[in-house]
Structure 1
């Protein structure tokens, strides 16, 4: 047996005995004729010929185990075969990696890279080495199987494995590891503010993903997770209304999984709307709280007015109120509430308050000076709620006939009572009682009807005398009832 490293020279000699005629020598490597790799020479000894053939060949790994021999012949029927030399060609390993290339593995799973020796001589004492091609000096592992538990995306890349024996080191087998992971996304900055009626455009963008093709999108509104609003990266809402304010989630999915939700708060801005409420009716002396809800975004500033008089102001409110600690009959009013925000100023609403109260007259006593044959008329204003009833009676309790009356409604709690008679010849002079009442009480106005007469003589109220002059002041007395 002849042992050679791959690439080394194989040097064998085949020599015949002295013979005549000269012998020829052919070389064989197993069944292959390799005579063309030889040189020969002859020597003459006492008339006989000796042939010497030299085989010079380079060992290759395919020669391993083959038998080399020569055959000498100097006649067609006579051949002599030498002993065979078995070649033991030593060569470095040949390796192959598995699994198939590229090797795709999901992030956080275990990656297992395997290197196998396909051929090697010798096939013992194999030394292994794994490296990542970007860091060739850093040996990661020294065995045929390289395991990476809980692999992360940063470990994607090309890995080389080599095997070494006493002859040398194999060519590297390369396997590309492709760590795949679900998408990571971001959205339009939050909060996203848009005016009511405008177009809202929400955009979701992938920052990283592997694979990045075939992405599936989904938009939902939190609180309605089962309702998919849109299936593309850009979600557009035209003519947006206030009810679409809220939190929206966007997700992206690939073959690995679904991203964490990216969240955007949509803030629909709109002008103030003051909610209408029924008229507030309270009893006199009660505590009154007038309240109104103001729907607006951003929040509104609220101002309460009685006519042009500012009663109260509040800033950035959803609900506003105005309090009267002890309601009076005169508090019956239409108050003005004004709400303003950045989108709209001076949105106005009337807030009506009615105070239940007994009648109150603007005069408790009325004196009328009349003459026979002259018409009689008088009026009085009344504050009351609800609308009052009234009766004009003589002092003895008798209800009068022939006196006309009417009531004018000036406002919800303000009335004017009118009384008239075309001639007073039929009426008695004296005191009359105007009784005015409603469900909350009664008031009485005294009406004194007196006949006109001659005025009384004026009275001297003050007199002063000097040496040459005097100063007198008069004060008028009863004028006879002249109006």
Structure 2
């Protein structure tokens, strides 16, 4: 700004300061705007309450140079002018044929109003064309580095360059650098490319930021990457039944296209197999075709692609025929085992069982110590899912010295009684005979044979071997001792000792059981003793049940009812109650008048008082005595006394 312009501005400010307090204000303030080069742009500015002494000043680039004062525009700005109705306070700045030099900040103010904010004018010069891309003109190989350079072509303001991979911004870029030619460079860098980068569309976009005036411009580069074959196997394990066809397939991803071949590891391909592209076809599989097959792909880019497929041919279980049908083993052998070998696919589960049983043992079949009960036919059973079981029988023959089965080693009998001694022998081969001997109290051992003086030996075959029974009759005290059973064969012998105890006869004293007392009861309110509807019950002690008693006759007293302990007295000893009644010609019984309360003597229920019988006498020679010291009064009382005496004797 020259000295003359400064004085002018100072003069204007001095004049306007006097009118600052009059209340002038902005009606519109300048706004930032963008315009293409060669166009006309207007920056608006107006005031309210502006007096004629308030000059309006416009300043602009460079460095807020005074462009105009009032309506006067200074000479360097011959493309600028003030437009609008100045009488209403309108002082708009119009710029014609805009150039890039017009770009900058502008302000409009007067001395009586505080300055408003600056407005920016941007003059946009469009780019000359799409940016240029250099690099990756030839195919790359996986693992190579990638460097692409994008350079803009002119334009103002300088465009912002951005790399895109498809529609997504790509961040692996170096910052943009301005060039002397007015353009901008930006680089895209990747240390190593992969097969996933093949066919990638890298795009460089140039944007000046004013899309309402100029459009963005872009350029693209499609990347070509050579990479080694990648073999993909859809199923690493293929299962097929023997005799069925099957296909082994592999998929190959490679650039350029690869050549595919098949082979079987450790063997040759089946004779009938046919390769169709990337698929190996076997029309009829056999168990020999099981194994690992390899698919190989080669396109000249290392390394070669390889994929493997395991072929499993299923077939039923088969037991090897080398196993003997019969195995002979010695008695008491330690840790004896049988191993059953079976093949099949899937691998069969091999177990053992006794033939015609459902109890299984795992293979191998082990015996920690061989006994005679181990002998028998065993069956090896091999099972696989989806196939019938394979079976093979093996006979185990146990040979060795005789074994006498354990049993009672003590026998007791009385003098004059009998005794039996059992000896069960298991052996292979069986002994010719089983011998018996006796060791008496003096330590003398006597061989025993069948005689007519009470000794008999019964020997016969048994399911497990041979059985011998020694029988003694009319045993005497000197027969007491140890009896020995012995069996022998070519492998050895075994014996068993049985102790015989002879007991002398001793008289056992009899006890004196007391018979239970009969219990009679009558339900109240059911009549008298003569009504014939009494509910009399007798407890049957031996059977534990309630036995109904027959009602007494109307002309009988209660004492005429006799005991009926059928479990104590023999049925033939006394007749039953009903037969006893029929033998009475008169049907009369003697009764004590004071023993019964007649019906009607009490206001409530009628009761019967019964004197319990006396306990049985201590001596069997003494007779049963009724209370009062008198004997039986009639036939029924005599019958009761006889029953009590017989019960005591039992």
Q: TM (normalized to structure 1)?
A: 0.42
Determine which structure has the larger strand proportion and give its number.
1
Determine which structure has the larger helix proportion and give its number.
2
* Bigger Cα Rg: 2
Q: TM (normalized to structure 2)?
A: 0.33
Name the structure, 1 or 2, with higher relative contact order (CA <8 Å, separation 6+). 1
